Amino acid sequence: MHDLDVIASDMLPLESEDLTRAHPRKLISLVATHDDRVVGHILFSRMTVANATAAFSGVGLAPVAVLPEFQRQRIGSIVREGLAMCRQAGYDAVVVLGNPAYYSCLGTMLMDEFMVLPLRNGALAGMSGMVKYLAEFREAEC
């Protein structure tokens, strides 16, 4: 997995990745392989909405990493698989930090400081509050 750390470090400091791997609160961790080599990795972890105005069960998507030589070769399709797993598990939405151009292909995103992808109709109706990632992300000063 550390081959991917160089790519992921653009989005998330290495210390944060190591912290999230070390804690059991990660929900879904998927890898893409090619010839028995890990070439891509995504992680969904729990997140909360402080001062939420409605009940909410969401996850954060970070990091997303693909080795440069495998980018633009549909390795990112593991993100779609992860989203389907989150939807099946009953989560309301996925919060995403990153390049809007890359993630917009996943569906309609609501954008402000970050992107939110609703996983079911009406999931964000009346919702407001402050998104809070796991403490592991804050510990790494993300």
Q: Where are the domains of the chain?
A: 2-139
Residue 13 has pLDDT above 70, yes or no: no
Q: Where are the alpha helices (DSSP H) in 23-117?
A: 77-88, 100-103
Strand, helix or coil for residue 9: coil
Fill in the DSSP letter of residue 137: H
**Mean per-residue pLDDT of the chain:** 76
Rounded CA gap, 28 and 78, in Å?
11
CA atoms within 13 A on the CB side of 42: 23
Q: Each residue of 88-119: pLDDT tens digit?
A: 999 999 998 777 777 777 776 666 667 889 99
Neighbours of 94 (CB within 10 A): 25
Is 2-139 a domain of CATH 3.30.1380.10? no
pTM here is 0.73
pLDDT of residue 25: 56
Give 123's DSSP letter: T
Model confidence over 45-63: pLDDT tens digits? 888 888 877 778 899 998 8
